[in-house]
Copies of this chain bind each other. A is one copy, B any other.
Amino acid sequence: MVPRLTTALTGPLLDLERRILERMPEIERWLRSKWQEHPVPFYASVDLRNAGFKLAPVDTNLFPGGFNNLNRDFLPLCVQAIQAAVERVCADARGVLLIPENHTRNLHYLQNVATLEHILQQAGMRVRIGTLLPDVREPTKVDLPSGDSLTLEPIVRDGRRVRVGDFDPCMVLLNNDLSSGSPAILQGLDQPVVPSLSAGWYNRRKSKHFAAYSQVAREFAALLDIDPWLVDPYFGVCGEIDFQERSGEECLASGVGALLERIARKYREYGIEEKPFAIVKADAGTYGMGIMTVRDANDVVGLNRKQRNKMAVVKEGLQVTRAMVQEGVYTFERADDAFAEPVVYMIDHYVVGGFYRVHTGRGRDENLNAPGMQFVSLAFEDTCLQPQFDSSGDCAPNRFYLYGVIARLALLAASLEIEQLAQLHDPALMQQPRKVAGA
């Protein structure tokens, strides 16, 4: 079941969709040329919002969970793509040490780890799962509702290598976003670590990502001769904020006010009658924590204690010291009575699938990546690889292709961002392009 767009698609998005299909050879060539120049992330997922008049990424995850939410029919695409990804990182690899998040009780997340393990195995890897949790001191089996199980093992450091038990992996694959820092046990390894430690959330800033994204979006928009705003959310940054101490509140309020005004001008330009809104987010961190919808500059002034606590701390107790204010993009897609936003998955530079995040308890201007009983996922019914050139109008395979294109713009932005982060972090950690044999 594909969530139905509630807007009649006659406006700019349908035009964008048509333009992207028509110029597909130029777009694909341009993307290929970019991957000749920039490092390809091992994998990523991108949250998109489709407002009917605008389609834009709002979050890019370099350590994607949720592989268990993808359509099982298309998992072979993941297997094929992960073969390419492994070949790129380390063609010599047989064994992978997969390091997940420190959630031992989130069975939904652990189901994602089991799915990743399975994909890696079908791609021909031996996989063991190493945990950073200090209280896992021996192999610990976890049974999953699906009937699968997985075994978490303590990571052992030997000189410049890590292992679990007697398993000496050829590479380390992180599915842990390193919110609380770069773990000492993984630093300075001879084994390749992907994504690199420098891409962890302790080091990433959403604002840097979206600055890189704006650069990519401008180039893409020039290729298509469109307004970059149609695919790019405005944003601003407020540094040195302390929600609990209420310092930096005025800076944030004036940032929100200025952003809402810029959005309002664009809405007037396009004759959009919706009310502009903005999202205030922690500049570092993830998991849908530290996120607030604001419709007015005053919304961020005089927050009550509960609101301030919610904003002050994100995952793993990371303190919020910088906030990003991002243009809010309405989601007009819905499944039955609930609002939905697409999440697109990529492995290497291939779009391997996606799902809709559906939240019955949230509005069309709210973050849907929030825990709660009303959250469900809905796998894409089709791949993002099969546009129908002869279909006009509202056609799911064409929409999915479009989503795959915009998601890849975000992937490219992540690549530029990773280049910068690696240089800042440790120039020697930056992986070099590798040569593969040509046909």
Q: A residues within 8 Å of B by Cβ? A: 24-29, 32-33, 35-42, 73-77, 79-81, 83-89, 91-95, 121-126, 194, 348, 350, 383, 385-387, 389, 431-439
Contacts and interface: CB of A to CB of B under 8 A. Distances in A.
Contacts of A437: 35-40, 433
A91 to B, nearest CB: 4
A438 B89 contact: yes
A422 B82 CA distance: 31
A94 B33 CA distance: 11
Nearest to A35: B437
A269 B77 CA distance: 42
A381 B303 CA distance: 59
15 contacts: A25-B95, A25-B124, A29-B94, A29-B124, A32-B86, A33-B91, A39-B438, A40-B439, A75-B386, A79-B383, A88-B436, A123-B385, A431-B439, A435-B436, A436-B436
A29 B85 contact: no
Contacts of A121: 389
Contacts of A383: 76, 79
A383 B27 CA distance: 29
A385 B82 CA distance: 11
A365 B76 CA distance: 34
A124 to B, nearest CB: 3
Contacts of A79: 383, 385-386
B389 A436 contact: no
Scoring A41, A86, A121, A124 by chain B CB atoms within 10 A of each residue's CB, the highest score goes to: A124
Contacts of A40: 437-439
Nearest to A383: B76
A73 B76 CA distance: 11
Nearest to A81: B80
Contacts of A73: 73
A167 B84 CA distance: 32
Contacts of A88: 436, 438-439
Given A41-B439, A194-B439, A28 B77 contact: no
A26 B77 contact: no
Contacts of A435: 36, 433, 435-436
Contacts of A386: 75-76, 79, 122
A244 to B, nearest CB: 39
Nearest to A348: B439
Contacts of A38: 437
Given A25-B94, A33-B91, A76-B385, 4 more contacts: A36-B91, A79-B386, A80-B385, A122-B385
Which 10 A-B residue pairings sit nearest by Cβ, starting from the closest? A28-B124, A434-B438, A25-B94, A433-B438, A433-B437, A76-B383, A32-B91, A79-B385, A76-B385, A40-B439
A295 B218 CA distance: 70
